């Protein structure tokens, strides 16, 4: 029996990257998975790859009416909702604050933050009635530390997601509904290319190319993989995490832990030399 056997789950932003891989693992663990996204061809292909327990529903999660139709469909079909993974994301404007185009910032915030608010708003009544459920929101280490994203708007949106997660967890937890977030570090997906202006198809194909650079960001000397986040999501969706609520699970290879050891020791050697102290 799988770790998510029979659980009814919705994953947004599931046409590629973290969402797609998470859907595959959820299905493998026995979940009934609905993949949601805007790119229909990619979504149907992704759902087919997950097997008979998965389906795709086209949905722009920035629009409450579309998100509601998605949730209603799932509940009508299965009679319940056990897990919602608010994973949909995308790039945000880069550059200094004095250069930020407000219209683009608003659009990014709608994807990164408003969709999470909508998803939790819609899932809450169902899970409260069940007195059970797991909501997982995709945060980011950029929401925990400045300078870990090319976009300060992206960082601010993710900080808001992480704090909203804690706030909602304090409410829903009283009814046995858990609300947690996952904060990925440098995960090799197409989001880096999208952030720098590549078209979606080209950006998705660039994921492999960013691995070498990402391997140097943290103590663990490799890029983060979509599997790393997908496995964390399986844990938070499962009953194994039934006493975890209001937590931000950081999956970053140690990038937020502090200054890396080897560069720090090289700096100490330089100071010793400057002071005339023998090593």
8 A C-beta contact, residue 184 and residue 252? yes
Given 154, 157, 158, 248, the catalytic residue: 154
Q: What are phi and psi of 18, to 5 degrees?
A: -60, -45
Helix H segments across the chain? 17-28, 40-50, 64-78, 102-109, 115-130, 152-172, 191-195, 200-205, 211-214, 226-237, 261-275
Q: What is the spatial distance between Cα 57 and Cα 44, in angstroms, rounded to a whole number?
A: 8
Q: Give Rg (Cα) of the chain.
A: 20
Q: Would you call 154 a catalytic residue per the annotation?
A: yes
Q: What is the spatial distance between Cα 227 and Cα 217, in angstroms, rounded to a whole number?
A: 18
Q: What is the spatial distance between Cα 237 and Cα 127, in angstroms, rounded to a whole number?
A: 13
Active site residues: 154
């Amino acid at each position: 029996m799988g770790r998510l056997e029979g659980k009814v789950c919705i994953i947004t932003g599931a046409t590629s990257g973290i969402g797609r891989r998470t859907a595959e693992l959820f299905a493998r663990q026995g979940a009934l998975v609905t993949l949601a996204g805007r790119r229909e061809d990619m979504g149907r292909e992704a759902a087919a790859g997950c097997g008979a327990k998965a389906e795709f529903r086209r949905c722009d999660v920035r629009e409450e009416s579309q998100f509601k139709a998605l949730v209603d469909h799932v509940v009508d079909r299965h009679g319940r909702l056990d897990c919602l993974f608010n994973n949909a994301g995308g790039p945000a404007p880069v550059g200094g604050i004095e250069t930020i185009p407000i219209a683009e910032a608003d659009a990014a915030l709608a994807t990164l933050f408003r969709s999470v608010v909508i998803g939790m708003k819609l899932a809450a009544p169902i899970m409260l009635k069940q007195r059970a459920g797991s909501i997982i929101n995709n945060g980011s280490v950029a929401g925990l530390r400045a300078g870990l994203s090319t976009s300060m708007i992206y960082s601010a949106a993710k900080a808001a997601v992480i704090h909203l997660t804690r706030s909602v967890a304090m409410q829903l937890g009283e009814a046995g509904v858990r609300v947690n977030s996952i904060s990925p570090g440098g995960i090799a997906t197409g989001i880096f290319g999208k952030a720098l202006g590549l078209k979606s198809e080209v950006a998705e194909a660039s994921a492999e190319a960013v691995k070498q650079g990402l391997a140097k960001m943290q103590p663990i000397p490799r890029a983060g993989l979509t599997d790393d986040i997908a496995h964390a999501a399986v844990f938070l969706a499962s009953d194994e995490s039934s006493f975890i609520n209001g937590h931000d699970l950081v999956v970053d290879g140690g990038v937020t832990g502090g200054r890396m050891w080897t560069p720090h020791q090289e700096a100490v050697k330089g100071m010793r030399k400057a002071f005339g102290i023998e090593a």
